[in-house]
Amino acid sequence: MARRSDVQHGPRTAGEPEHSTYPPSPYDPDPDHVTARGRGASRRGAWSGGGGRWLVWTGRAVLWALIIVIVVNGVRAPIERLAQPSEPSGPTATPTDFGFPKTEAGAFASQFAAAYLNFDGSKPDERAERLKPFLPEGGGQLGWNGFGRMSAGAFQASDVQVSDAQNAVVTVFAQSGAQRWKLSVPVYYTDHKFVVSGEPALLPAGDAAGLPQLPEPEHDDTTESELRPQLEGFFKAYASGDATQLQRYVAQGTTLDGFGGKVSLGELKSVTAPPGGTTREVTAVVVWTVPTGSTPSPSSTSTDPGAQAAGLEQAYRLVVEKQGDNWYVKDIRGATRSAG
């Protein structure tokens, strides 16, 4: 009997089993099905290779959902920022005074200090009467034993330490003779009114600060000699306030107002001019004569110092400019360092 060849020689007829000459694909969900079909074993109802597609579609759905969320948030955020009212940048200051009226409390405590620090043992009732507007009912003398004398003035509130919306401690500076004091006053506030809520405390205000000695400034003796007669004339005109006279000593384009005769020049004590060019900043020390309310006549023999004209030494800083042979004043103000 002749043996049939295994090689396919022509087109496959209907019903003839399918033979595959390719190796199974690694992506095929069932690699054996090709081989089985090649052996003629038909697998009815088997899925032809889509076993992982539901995972792919699920992943795509999640990815698109994330993309939509990101796009929506990206568009909404700047719109919301534009719609919000602008806020000041930087840290927000936290109020610490609780709405307590510090200015009014300072004025109240200063008036109280004037009544509290002025007393006379021979007139105790006067002090008690002055203290009544500041103390709760029955306040009396607020710790004073009724003896001695004290006279104080120059009251100035300097600090208000607020505890809450109704309580604070006010520090008031005062002066009695050669002594400066601080008075610490506790106050209570309600219904737009104040009252001293406890006994005050007297504290030292401290001595004057030490002032270091400045080095001796450089002098231009020639310029100082030239300036002296010019500045003497200027200060006399400055005291009188005569505009015509002042124009003889001030630079062109400069306008100065004088004292209008309220003082007169007693003496030009010194002129200090540093080396430099045609424009200098110089210092002048003058003594103003300040008349009293009733100036005594030259023939008066009164020896009362209070009835005589006062002399006040003052230091000025002037900007002067040389034009031709003369110096002219461009500006005048108080000197920075003349004491000590």
Residue 36 CB-density burial (10 A; 0-12 exposed, 13-18 middle, 19+ buried): middle
Instruction: For the chain, give the mean pLDDT.
Output: 81
The residue type at 3 = R
The CATH fold assigned to 221-292+307-334 is Nuclear Transport Factor 2; Chain: A, (3.10.450)
Is the alpha carbon torsion for 50, 56, 61, 62 positive or negative?
positive
Provide mean pLDDT across the span 196-222: 90
pTM: 0.60
pLDDT of residue 58: 82
**For the chain, percent of residues with pLDDT exceeding 70:** 75
Of the candidate ranges 30-39, 164-173, 282-291, the one whose mean pLDDT is the lowest? 30-39
pLDDT of residue 7: 45
Structural class in CATH, domain 102-142+149-204: alpha beta
Beta bridge partners of 332: 318
pLDDT of residue 162: 96
For the cut 60, the answer to whether the pLDDT of residue 74 exceeds it is yes
Instruction: Tell me the CA distances in angstroms from 22 to 25, 40, 47, 147, one per residue in order.
Output: 8, 16, 20, 128
Report the alpha-carbon distance of residue 299 to residue 232 in Å, rounded: 28
Q: Which residues contact 44 (CB under 8 A, 6 or more apart)?
A: none
Provide mean pLDDT across the span 192-200: 95
Q: Hey, where are the domains in the chain? A: 102-142+149-204, 221-292+307-334
pLDDT tens, position by position, 176-188? 999 999 999 999 9
Tell me how crowded residue 155 is: count the other CB atoms within 10 A of its CB: 19
pLDDT tens, position by position, 273-295? 999 999 999 999 999 999 886 54
Determine if residue 90 is left, alpha or beta; phi over 0 gives left, psi from -120 to 50 gives alpha, anything else beta: left
For the cut 90, the answer to whether the pLDDT of residue 13 exceeds it is no
pLDDT of residue 39: 45
pLDDT tens, position by position, 38-70? 444 444 444 455 556 777 788 888 888 888 878
The reply to whether 221-292+307-334 shares the fold of 102-142+149-204 is yes
pLDDT of residue 294: 54
Q: Residue count of the chain, please give it.
A: 340
Please tell me whether residue 73 adopts helix, strand or coil conformation.
Answer: helix
Report the alpha-carbon distance of residue 88 to residue 74 in Å, rounded: 25
Nearest to 316 by CA among 255, 247, 234: 234
Q: Decide if 252 contacts 216 (C-beta within 8 A).
A: no
For residues 49 and 160, the model is more confident at: 160
pLDDT tens, position by position, 79-134? 766 666 555 455 444 456 789 999 999 999 999 999 999 999 999 999 999 999 99
Report the alpha-carbon distance of residue 317 to residue 280 in Å, rounded: 10
